[in-house]
Structure 1
C-alpha cells in the first residue's frame, strides 16, 4: 500500500511537471529571445539618436567618441553618407541578433549581439526550472511517504488488534488516528474487544461458580458413600443411600440452576417453601463432617417458618456458610431462625475467632479469603441470595454471625417479554 501511494503521487507530480514544465520552457525561451531582440532594437535607435544630435552639432563622428555608448558584448556599425563606416566593439562570430535603425540625417546604425548570450540566459532559466521541478518531486515524495505512513500504520495497528482479538487477548487499545474512517473501524474493534472481555469474564465466573457450588454436594455425597461402605447394617445402609439419593437430586438441581442462569439470569423459580426442611437437610448432610472434626452442628429458633425463594439456592447458601464455619471457624456451629418484619432470618454462627479486622466488609468480595481457599464461596452465596430477592449479610464479626434474610411474601416478578413482542405492544 505504501508503494502504491508513493508511486501514484509521484506519477501525478511528474505529469504536472511534464505538462506545465514544457510549456514554461517554451514560453520562457520565447520571452528571452524577444527580450534580447528588443534590447538590440532599442540600442540601435539610441545610437541613431546620438549620431543625429552630433551631426546636427557639426561634431566629427568617430569610434573614439562613441565607444562608451555601446555595451561590451555588442557590435555596432555606423554608416554616414560621405564618410567611412564607424565600427564600435568586436564583430561577433556565428549566429547573431541584429537590428538596423536609420537616422534623420541619412545615417544607418546596425547593432549586433551574439546569440550565445541568449542561449546562456535560456540555459540558466532551464536550470532554475529543473531545480524547482526537482524540489517539487522531492517534496511530493516526502509528502507521499508521510501520507502513506499515516494511512498504512493505522491499518497495520488495526490488523494487529484484530489478530490479538482472534488469539484471545480482548484488551481494547483506545487508539485513534485522526482519520474518520479508520477511527470508526477502531471504535468497532474496541467495542468488540469489550464485549469479548465481558463474555470471557462471564464464562470464567460461571466456571468458578460451578466448581465451587458442585464441590460441596460432591463432598457431602462422598461422605455418605463412605458411611455406606463402613456399615453392615441394612437399615443404616438404606438410610444413608436415601440421603445420598437426595444429595444427587440436589446436585442435579445445582447443575440445572447453573445452566439456567447461564442462559438467562432473569429466570427465577422462587416458591414458598418450608425453611425447616432445608435446615434439616443441611444438618443431616454436614453432621458426619463435623463429627469427624470433633465438632457439633445444631439448630434452634422459631420453627415452621415459610419463606419465599428457591429451595436449592437457599440450601447452597446455607451449605456455603456451614462449610465456611467448618474450614475457618471453631466449636459448635448453630443455625438460628427468627422473624423480623416480613422476613425470615437464618443466622449461622460458630465459636471461632471470627472474621479478621482487615477483611471486614470485603468478606463478600471475590478472591477475598482469610486462608488458602478460593475466596468465592461467600460471594457466590450472596449472589444466590440476591437472585431470589433475599440478602446475605455479616451481622457480627467476632464471633462471626452471618444472616440470610428471606421474604415471607411471594415476590411479584414482571413477566418476561420478548423484545419483538415488547416493541409490538408499544
Structure 2
C-alpha cells in the first residue's frame, strides 16, 4: 500500500509538472526570440533619424557604433549603391525594401530585418540587420535546466511527503494485522493502539472490543465447564461410599482406586477450565512416564477383556508442550476408542518415539476392523491413507460422542504438532499423534 500510494503521488505530480513546465518552457523560448527581434529592430530604428540628416561620413560612423554595441551585423544601403557598416550583399529582401517595404525574413541562419527609410532626395535608404539563431535561443537552455531541476525537486519533495503520509497510514494497518495474528494465536490480551485516520481508529476500537468479547465468552464457557464438572462430584462421592461399603477388601480397593482416578480427572478438568491461558503458557511434561502410567492403567482392563498390549517406549525423556493431565487425557481418549470400537480380545500397541525436530510421536495401532472411510487401503509413504478421514468434533460414524479424536487433534495442534489417521499393517486403525517440543507453538 505504501508503494502504491507513492506511485500514485508520483504519477499525479508528473502530470501536473508536465502540464505547467512544458508550456512554460515553450513560452520562455518564444519570449527569448521576441526579445532578440525587438532588440534588433530597435538598433535599426536608431539609425532611421540619422539617415535623413547626417552626411555619409557621420552615418558610417554611427552605423559602425551601433553594430559594435549590438554585436550584430548592421548594414546601411544608400540609393547610390554605397554600403555602410558591416559589409553584406544586396539580398532579395534589401531590393524589395528599396521599393519602400520594411519586412522581416526568416532564413536558415536567422532572421533578416530590413527597414526602408524614405524622404531622401536621392531615393530610399535600406537599413539591414541579421539576428543569428544562437541569439534567438540565448538563455533558453539555462532556463530549461532551472525548470528541470525545479521539477525534479518538487517531485522528490512530493514523494517524501507522500511516503510520510503513506507510512502514517500503513503503520496502524500493520499493527492491526499483527494484533489480529496474535489473537489468532490465542493471545487474547493483545490490543491494538488506536492511531491513524478516524476510520482506522474505529477499526482498532472494534478489534479491541471483539477481543474483549472473546475473553468474556471464553470465561463464561470455562465457568460453565467447571460448574458442569463440579456437579460430577456428588455422584462420585456416592460411588466412593458404595465402594467403601463392599465386603470384599480387594474389590473395594480396586473400585476406590478407580473412583480416585476419576475424581482426579474431574479436578484437573475444573482447574484446566478455570485456567486463564494467553496461548503462550509453559505447559510441559515428560511424555514417557505419562504414557507408561496411562497404558498401565488400561492394561488391567485389557487383561480382563483378553487383549494383548504391546508398549514400545523411548529410553530417554521426551519433553513435549503439553501438561501431564492433558497428555494423560489424550492417551485415555485414544485407548478408550480402542476399547469402545473394537471387539474383545483385539490387541493393540502403543509406541512413543522422539521426533527429529523435537517433541515426541505417539502411535496407537489396533488389530480391529479399521477406521470407517479408509476402505482398508494401505498407508502411503507418510503413513496416512488418502483421502484422509475427517475429524469433526461431535460427529462419529461409530455412534459415540465424537470427541475423542478431536481432543487428541486439538492437543496436538496446541503443542505445535498434528494428528494423522491411517491403516495399520494388520488392517486396523493407526492413530499417530505428533507432539511439539516445549518451545514450539501453533494455534489450534
Q: Give your verdict on TM over 0.5.
A: no
Higher-Rg member (1/2): 1
Give the alignment's TM-score, normalised by structure 2: 0.43
Give the alignment's TM-score, normalised by structure 1: 0.45
Between Structure 1 and Structure 2, which shows a larger proportion of helix residues?
1
